[in-house]
Structure 1
Amino acid sequence: MIPWETLDTVAVPGDGGEMRLMRRGHEYVIRLGPIVLMGSRTGGSEEALARLGCAGLDAAERPRVLIGGLGMGFTLRATLALLGPHAAVTVAELVPAVVAWGRGPLSAVHAGSLDDPRVTVHEGDVGRLMRAASGPGRFDAILLDVDNGPDGLTRAGNDALYDARGLAAARDALRPGGRLAVWSSEPDDRFTARLKRAGFAVAVETPRAHGKRGIRHVVWVATRGG
């Protein structure tokens, strides 16, 4: 069997531990300690995040989409495929090395999405972008794939995206009728209730990570009322 090779190691901001990019043959994974955060063969649920969050957007218009968390680019690529040439997609990634990996060893996985003229990459906190959005700057959709979901693993600061104040910021950053879609590795009934208390209409989907037999992840689809 081909052994795993470590290509790079970086520290996650905010004492979030050590993140490693690893390769075995043509397969890549990003690990946090012993935990696999994502792999190049299992992007189905991240693609579903884009599909569910962007449902109903008119590709002929000028939709504005914010993606929190670049990862291996599955959500970004799926979003670009769904939207037309006039869309504006902002990707916020807290760990600069993840962006560098996307332009370097993972460039084939990202398939040129980072160089798409519709894309703006922000190396920083997605929460700050949500809090800054208002009025005509509001987004049509916000897609969050940050950490392992509402019950974070990499840094305590990510919890602020999913508490009552963070969800209020997300709601205010959306236009009326806009969607907040949140990815998670596990279900969380308390988070479902928190979304409802924040004023969202909520649906919970369970897409598979890969094919018809892969494990199921969770995507909350939360729609802001008018």
Structure 2
Amino acid sequence: MPEQHSPEILDRRDGPYGEAVLRRRGERYEIIANGCFLMDTSDGRSERALVTAALDAFAEGSPGTAPELLVGGLGVGFSLAQAAADPRPAAVTVLEREQAVIDWHTAADAPLAPFAGTGHQDPRVRIVHDDLLRHLASAEAEARYDVLCLDIDNGPDWTVTESNDSLYGDSGLALLERALTPRGVLAVWSAAPSPEFERRLGSRFRQVWSIELPVEVERGLPDVVHLATR
């Protein structure tokens, strides 16, 4: 039986979206949002697959084009690590609304920095402290992206932060669609399959499909990447 470790709280902050906590349990780091487990550093395969699947889909529709990539959510850094490890993106923008999470990556002796791979040193990468929907809706946000990868909260049907619900609704999808280039690809990570979210995607995007990513977790449900193209 694997050794059990009691969690050690490394940092706790109250912010505009509630409480954010960084814990260490043995060699594993965990992010807790408003008292609910959000993510940890134990695996990362599904977060990496999110980025790879989206870049592959874009390359299929626009071969030879170096995409502008937006990653929604810095988290523990797995999505950023995969984006930086891939030579295809021309630029990578990472949006993170929790200053605490950015600090856990960028402050001196930042505990989460190693999990971002070469992302923090990659000249193609910039990290922006902002809420995704606010950023996309702002008058200054003239940029359009070829690939949008969203790893925010636990997915469409299980949000820890109530304000994230709008991201997966019609108004949020309208902003995401507007932010994509004509051949752009949207990829959304989810902790479980969401047929209802697929239906909403299908009402707005030309092509929609999902990839299930079985992982060994107690709840037994596969992680899912929902993909859509204009």
What TM-score range do you get, normalising by the shorter chain?
0.7 to 0.9
Provide the identity percentage: 38
Mapping of residues 35-46 of structure 1, within 5 Å: 35-46=36-47
Mapping of residues 140-151 of structure 1, within 5 Å: 140-151=146-157
How far 1:100 sits from its partner (Å)? 0.7
Give me the whole-angstrom Cα distance separating, in 2, the residues matched to 1:59 and 1:9: 45
Give me the whole-angstrom Cα distance separating, in 2, the residues matched to 1:161 and 1:140: 19
Q: Report the counterpart of residue 31 of structure 1 in structure 2.
A: 32
Check the 8 A contact 2:36/2:160 in 1, yes or no: no
Match of 2:103 among 92, 100, 105: 100
Match of 2:161 among 155, 179, 183: 155
Q: Does 1:10 align with 2:13?
A: yes
Give me the whole-angstrom Cα distance separating, in 2, the residues matched to 1:169 and 1:33: 26
Q: Structure 1 segments of 4 or more deviating over 6 A?
A: none
Match of 2:145 among 139, 150, 155: 139
Give me the whole-angstrom Cα distance separating, in 2, the residues matched to 1:113 and 1:183: 20
How far 1:53 sits from its partner (Å)? 1.1
Q: Does 1:76 align with 2:80?
A: yes
Give me the whole-angstrom Cα distance separating, in 2, the residues matched to 1:146 and 1:81: 21
SS of aligned partner of 1:54 = helix
Check the 8 A contact 1:67/1:90 in 2, yes or no: yes
1:105-137 CA-to-partner distances (Å, cap 9, x unmatched) read 112222341231111111011113333555xx3
How far 1:210 sits from its partner (Å)? 6.2
Give me the whole-angstrom Cα distance separating, in 2, the residues matched to 1:179 and 1:117: 23
Task: Give, as a single letter, the amino acid of the residue that structure 2 aligns with 1:118.
Answer: R
How far 1:41 sits from its partner (Å)? 1.1
Task: Give, as a single letter, the amino acid of the residue that structure 2 aligns with 1:4.
Answer: P
Give me the whole-angstrom Cα distance separating, in 2, the residues matched to 1:223 and 1:175: 10
Match of 1:91 among 91, 94, 97: 94
Give me the whole-angstrom Cα distance separating, in 1, the residues matched to 2:195 and 2:228: 14
Number of aligned residue pairs: give it: 217
Check the 8 A contact 2:96/2:132 in 1, yes or no: yes
CA RMSD of aligned residues (A): 2.3
